[in-house]
């Protein structure tokens, strides 16, 4: 028994190290790490080390929870102020755009391949939604102009609910007797209820986390992630969209005075990485290489219909009323990445014993791999050709905060990163609001007590003490200076 535990620990730690190395490779090549995890699962499976794994039900359940963790990380790393402008377009793209994509892919599958409408609907619904894991891992390394990046992230966080409903209905015994109005009503309920649950639990987290002084900083990440995932469980009980609830709850909490923000986000990111690893290795184990080869021709046809016709048409119909420039529409059409979501959704009809469901799963699996390899590495080139990528974009200022409960104040930690206009600014030029003071600068391995004539440099870590009342104004002022430099008041008089 001891050897079995040691072997399991060895294998688990080895997989984690591979996951970390895969992230490094992904950052250099632009190929999502999820493909490395899939390849690892295939290598461990029947065609490699010979591990046989055929538990579709377990994979489906684990897949849903893993996707919830990934969406929780996506929500916690997104502020409402960042997605406010893109939210209306993302909402339309995630509903109307999904319906357009499903209709086009389903129709093309029936016409070109002669499949049944049920099989075509399963394929169309499975590949209609973009994948949060793929979008987050690829696009956050691209300094996109305007609202494009946040629009794609918001869409990937919102568009799972309609596709989950469609796949569930097409996999059920009552799929043929369900009217389109019933489908629309069910989608509307799941979206509305999921949104309400996410807002409610997010508000609870917003109120409690910012006021609690927990005895250990390590408890904040646990409490935050637990609150966000609580919304997923609550939504499941009420038959609402758990994916929408968890994403919205994460955004609401991230937009508040979140203590130890950097530690929370680091923990959430690591947890999402672990969820991706476990999910994609299981999916790779589940796949049969022999069946995948046979599914390649069908996958190429369905994928071409989705990428070249359905996605561009969905983007055109959804974004034209918002007067989105054609360059941005073109990039949105090409950047609709698929990943775990389509594969997990394709498992649903297999667990419901739908005829031909295994073939659908194989087609979706191959489609995801082939078209991710085609799209992901080319996104930087396409973005530059379309003029939607900034060569030197200033990143948003990261502020780490910890509550000082007994004195009614917060400790803010700010890093002067490359591209920040804080570089070269004198302390006196910060003009922090009353109640906020820069108390210490950590430069290299030394701590400097600043004077009004101290000049900030790249790599500095600033420690600022602010009263509870002045914290928000201090953060806004620091972000304004980081973005516009010491003349921030001229660019934005209220900064």
For the segment 193-201, the average pLDDT, to the nearest whole number, is: 92
311 has a pLDDT exceeding 90: yes
- Which pLDDT band holds residue 406 (cuts at 50, 70, 90)? low
Most confident range (mean pLDDT) of 163-167, 244-248, 404-408 is 244-248
| Residue matched to tokens 């609402």 | 240
Of the pLDDT bands very low, low, confident and very high (cuts 50, 70, 90), residue 107 is: very high
The 436-443 sheet, strands edge to edge: 399-404, 409-415, 461-467, 436-443, 446-448
Biggest CA-to-CA distance, the chain:
76
* pLDDT, position 493: 44
pLDDT in tens, 33-69: 777 777 777 777 766 676 777 788 888 888 888 888 8
Return the closest-CA partner of residue 478 out of 405, 429, 443, 411: 429
Q: What is the mean predicted confidence (pLDDT) over 239-247?
A: 87
pLDDT computed for residue 398 by the predictor: 61
Give the pLDDT of residue 490: 46
Domains belonging to the chain, first-starting first, are 35-386 (1.20.1530.20), 399-491 (3.30.70.1450)
Q: How many Å apart are CA 437 and CA 200, to the nearest integer?
A: 35
Half-sphere exposure of 310 (CA within 13 A, CB side): 29
Q: Which band of pLDDT confidence, cut at 50, 70 and 90, is reported for residue 495?
A: very low
Least confident of 139-153, 166-180, 294-308, 443-457: 139-153
Q: What is the mean pLDDT of the chain?
A: 82
pLDDT band at 156 (very low <50, low <70, confident <90, very high): confident
Q: What are the tens digits of pLDDT across the range 474-492? A: 888 888 888 888 776 644 4
pLDDT at 492: 44
Name the band, by pLDDT with cuts 50, 70 and 90, for residue 201. very high
pLDDT bracket for residue 29 (50, 70, 90): low
Say if residue 427's pLDDT is above 50.
Answer: yes
Predicted local confidence at residue 391, as pLDDT:
58
Q: What is the pLDDT of residue 221?
A: 85
> Can you give the pLDDT at residue 55?
81
Rounded-to-integer distance, Cα 467 and Cα 447, Å: 23
* pLDDT at 426 exceeding the cut of 80: yes
- At 404 the pLDDT is 63
Q: Is the pLDDT of residue 241 over 70?
A: yes
pLDDT beyond 70 at 394: no
| Residue found under tokens 């097409």 | 170
Gyration radius (Cα) of the chain, Å: 24
Question: Which pLDDT tens digit goes with each residue over 260-281?
Answer: 777 888 888 888 888 887 888 8
> In angstroms, rounded to a whole number, what is the distance separating the alpha carbons of residues 125 and 51?
31
Highest mean pLDDT among 53-62, 110-119, 338-347 belongs to: 110-119
């Amino acid at each position: 028994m001891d050897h079995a535990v040691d072997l399991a620990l060895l294998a688990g730690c080895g997989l984690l190290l591979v996951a970390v190395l895969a992230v490094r490779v992904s950052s250099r090549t632009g190929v999502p790490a999820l493909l490395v995890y899939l390849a690892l699962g295939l290598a461990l499976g029947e065609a490699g080390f010979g591990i046989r794994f055929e538990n579709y039900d377990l994979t489906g359940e684990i897949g849903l929870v893993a996707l919830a963790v990934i969406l929780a990380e996506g929500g916690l790393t997104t502020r409402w102020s960042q997605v406010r402008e893109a939210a209306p377009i993302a909402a339309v793209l995630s509903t109307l755009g999904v319906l357009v994509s499903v209709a086009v892919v389903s129709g093309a599958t029936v016409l070109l391949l002669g499949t049944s409408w049920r099989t075509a609907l399963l394929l169309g619904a499975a590949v209609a939604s973009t994948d949060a894991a793929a979008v987050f891992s690829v696009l956050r390394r691209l300094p996109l102009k305007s609202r494009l990046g946040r629009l794609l992230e918001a869409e990937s966080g919102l568009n799972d609910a309609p596709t989950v409903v469609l796949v569930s209905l097409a996999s059920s015994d009552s799929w043929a007797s369900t009217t389109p109005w019933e489908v629309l009503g069910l989608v509307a309920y799941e979206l509305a209820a999921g949104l309400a649950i996410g807002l409610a639990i997010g508000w609870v987290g917003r109120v409690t986390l910012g006021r609690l002084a927990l005895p250990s900083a390590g408890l904040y990440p646990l409490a935050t992630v637990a609150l966000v995932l609580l919304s997923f469980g609550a939504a499941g009980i009420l038959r609402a969209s758990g994916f929408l609830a968890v994403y919205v709850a994460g955004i609401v909490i991230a937009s508040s005075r979140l203590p130890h923000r950097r530690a929370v986000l680091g923990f959430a990111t690591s947890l999402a990485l672990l969820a991706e690893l476990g999910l994609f290795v299981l999916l790779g184990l589940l796949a049969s290489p022999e069946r995948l080869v046979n599914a390649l021709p069908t996958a190429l046809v369905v994928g071409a219909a989705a990428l070249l016709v359905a996605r561009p048409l969905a983007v055109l119909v959804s974004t034209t009323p918002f007067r989105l420039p054609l360059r941005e529409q073109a990039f949105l059409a090409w950047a609709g990445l698929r990943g775990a979501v389509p594969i997990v959704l394709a498992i649903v009809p297999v667990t419901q014993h739908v005829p031909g469901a295994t073939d659908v799963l194989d087609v979706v699996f191959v489609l995801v791999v082939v078209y991710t390899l085609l799209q992901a590495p080319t996104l930087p080139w396409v973005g530059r050709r379309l003029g939607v990528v900034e060569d030197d974009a200033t990143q948003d200022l990261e502020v780490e905060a910890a509550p000082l409960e007994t004195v009614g104040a917060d400790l803010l930690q700010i890093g002067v990163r490359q591209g920040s206009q804080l570089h070269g600014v004198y302390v006196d030029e910060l003009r922090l609001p009353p109640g906020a003071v820069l108390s210490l600068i950590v430069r290299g391995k030394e701590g400097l007590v600043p004077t009004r004539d101290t000049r900030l440099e790249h790599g500095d870590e600033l420690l600022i003490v602010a009263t509870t009342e002045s914290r928000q104004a201090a953060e806004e002022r620091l972000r304004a200076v980081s973005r516009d430099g010491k003349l921030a008041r001229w660019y934005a008089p209220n900064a």
